[in-house]
Chain A
């Protein structure tokens, strides 16, 4: 396998980041009830290829310091680029202490040791159909350090590669896409040891594209729906998980008030947030406020558990700190966010869940983009890799499915949880911040959902 490796200056740098954060808190803590400093040095390298040729490479360094303070009961937030650090002591108006030390040195540009998949290694050998293949490889090397006036002093580094494939086939002049993705995390992520995997990932994307081209079932339907592994928890993450984020949980909304009532979530649902999974897209040793990543029960046999909290939501609303303060980078505020959302395995045979009703059944392979209105509970989501199973048991590919309905009514229609299990890596947006989260679950069957296919 041909590989391309790049390396810059070697340095871990987290000790220096910790020193900068410590210095910042020392400066700010004098005039605030609470002060937190978050120092970050991240490099993202994104390589995009088209049909076996490198198309574009983008490098994004993100380095700087974010400070958050509570002063006279008010929260304030400000970011400092590396060159702005000397101005930090003047931010809160307390002025510099004569003779006080300046900022410690910021570490040198980060070491980047990343082996991209060679463009031609993505190409599918003996492909069953003419197609175009676009691949995107996103490598992130991140170093962070957090210090606050409550005694937090933490630092961590992480390496992550997420690879996405988009296969396109043409049929009758129209283009149809199929998507697939693959995640690697840990110290060896982005290394050269992955023989055969790129082609397998690409082959699956091509299969999805071919199914989309074959699909010819349109219109609006109401049938039982089985969400496959990871797609099922994707739905629950949207319907329940977001409502259990501390800031949302505190909202005075009809939907969340009803969700908090006993019985709103079926007793068969257990769901937790787990930042410790080895293969989770949202895993971390420490969150972006320095708290150790852990496991938080969101729903236990239908009963709601703790809301996910950041420092601000914990202090404002009295929530238990759960270590879920996450941010896109140092320029954004930490918000209470999921890490990896997990539904444990059930007991039912996943094949039995797929038994069609008199109206057939929709099987959803992957949940795409969509939204829930947390005021009303109304939702709509796009679904990918879908199959309609006719009442006679025939499998028919369906493309561009839209699911819509009322969240509470939908939850009440959960009627089965499979004994299978699977995971996925997705990006989730909140207040303009896109973050990676992991989704892990078995298949789940709902007795009826409204959906349409184009």
Chain B
């Protein structure tokens, strides 16, 4: 059976070729990353198929000369094409920008080993063994469903994310983030309203398939025919819905820092090197160490995030802000953008998922953001929430979709309790979802007769 092999040596060879091809007055920094995945797909009849995605590395070279710099977007570079990449860029140096100061202090210490590499785990999933467990896993997911719902499929995946950074100053960094995903697909009666949900962990045994089934049961119910509108104010979000909410919130506050702090029940944490996180990494695309820090404290204040070219919630000029390890290479952008690593809300004292779901609740299983932050005018969020009425966590029927909207700080301050069991969800920002409770009073979209 195919396995996911480390291929960082190939990326380092490309980066070294870039260094070797530099002219005497030039310097460069190269960042390359890739995400490989094996996915075992199992349908309800037990038929299995293994799909492997094993892409090449992509990233960028930042070429610097005479105080100016140019970013070269490097899609799947190879050793023989590295010099050609530089040759395309050099004649365009006159269009380059002033080089940002690379000598700024770092907010976090480096976690790289003396060998210049770091990994979340050395363990690897035995996919053959996992294949023999799919029946049991489907049964376990099924335990969390209600009558009429059925498991239609299961995916067991392992994911290897590799990143390397190498520059003319001698930095040589390597990260390996490895983890396992369990995805289940559930349908209602007559195969209607197919839904899926995923859990991620460093090992398959760390994922609770029954709990995944319970969440899917609520989601499948919420996707059904809309029932009565929810007239209360307090709702509980499933881990998947929490992750949707957090991802949109973080994207928003990275573009529109919070301006008016209010006290919060929980702080918003960013833990770059968290091994349980989907995006675990010890350095960002600029080679800056990542760390664990609050993005937003319980005082409602947003903490600084700084990359070479941007500073958010800064308490001083850009040139002086310590680099925080939040730079992300988006190939559609022109320079590294500010981002977050693994984000989650801190649990509130004594809060458990079981406690949050006790009794009759409105449980939001899908929090769909309306619009993309970049195209909004600033700092406002809107979601369409799909929810179900549950009794002790068991879904009864769908509520009519809810609309909520408001500034990011209102969403954060609407969180009243956060459970203690976090699972991370994939995406450009790895969001850690836990069951949490929100009071929608401030953010419910009011029907207005204009």
Interface stretch (choices A24-32, A55-63, A275-283): A55-63
Within the complex, the shortest CB–CB distance from A251 to chain B, in Å, comes to 14
Are A56 and B309 in contact, CB atoms less than 8 angstroms apart?
yes
Contact of A368 among B335, B376, B448 (CB under 8 A): B376
Contact of B97 among A56, A218, A452 (CB under 8 A): A56
Within the complex, the shortest CB–CB distance from A173 to chain B, in Å, comes to 4
Looking at chain A's contact residues, the main secondary structure is strand
Interface stretch (choices A238-246, A307-315, A398-406, A414-422): A398-406
From known contacts A56-B334, A168-B378, A174-B378, infer whether A4 and B405 are also in contact, taking CB-CB under 8 Å.
no
Could you list 27 A-B pairs, sorted by A, with CB under 8 Å? A6-B94, A8-B91, A56-B71, A56-B97, A57-B96, A57-B97, A58-B71, A59-B73, A59-B89, A59-B92, A60-B72, A60-B73, A84-B78, A116-B95, A168-B378, A177-B377, A179-B375, A359-B450, A368-B371, A368-B372, A369-B371, A380-B370, A384-B375, A399-B376, A400-B376, A402-B371, A402-B382
Interface stretch (choices B16-24, B79-87, B209-217, B339-347): B79-87
Q: Which residues of B sit under 8 angstroms from A384, Cβ to Cβ?
A: 375, 377
| A contacts, CB < 8 Å to B | 4-8, 43-48, 53-62, 81-84, 109-110, 112, 114, 116, 136, 168, 172-179, 208-209, 212, 215, 217-221, 223, 329, 331, 359-360, 368-370, 380-382, 384, 388, 390-391, 399-400, 402, 404, 434, 452-454
- Docked Cα-Cα span, A223 to B88, in Å, equals 53
Give the residue among B70, B368, B376, B403 with the most A Cβ atoms within 10 A: B376
Give the residue among B87, B309, B380, B406 with the most A Cβ atoms within 10 A: B380
- The count of chain B contact residues (Cβ–Cβ below 8 Å) is 57
Are B382 and A452 in contact, CB atoms less than 8 angstroms apart?
yes
From known contacts A43-B88, A57-B334, A60-B75, infer whether A400 and B371 are also in contact, taking CB-CB under 8 Å.
yes
Q: How many A-B residue pairs have CB under 8 A?
A: 193
Are B97 and A402 in contact, CB atoms less than 8 angstroms apart?
no
- Docked Cα-Cα span, A55 to B83, in Å, equals 25
- Docked Cα-Cα span, A217 to B448, in Å, equals 10
- Docked Cα-Cα span, A364 to B113, in Å, equals 55
Q: Which of B344-385 contact A (CB under 8 A)?
A: 368, 370-372, 374-382, 384
Contact of B91 among A112, A220, A368 (CB under 8 A): A112
| B contacts, CB < 8 Å to A | 60, 69-73, 75-76, 78, 80-81, 84-85, 87-89, 91-98, 256, 259-260, 309, 331-335, 368, 370-372, 374-382, 384, 403, 405-407, 445-450
Q: Which residues of B sit under 8 angstroms from A175, Cβ to Cβ?
A: 256, 259, 378-379
Contact of B376 among A83, A382, A388 (CB under 8 A): A382
From known contacts A173-B260, A220-B447, A434-B332, infer whether A8 and B92 are also in contact, taking CB-CB under 8 Å.
yes
From known contacts A48-B334, A218-B405, infer whether A54 and B96 are also in contact, taking CB-CB under 8 Å.
yes
Within the complex, the shortest CB–CB distance from B363 to chain A, in Å, comes to 21
Q: Which residues of A sit under 8 angstroms from B91, Cβ to Cβ?
A: 6-8, 112
- Docked Cα-Cα span, A377 to B309, in Å, equals 42
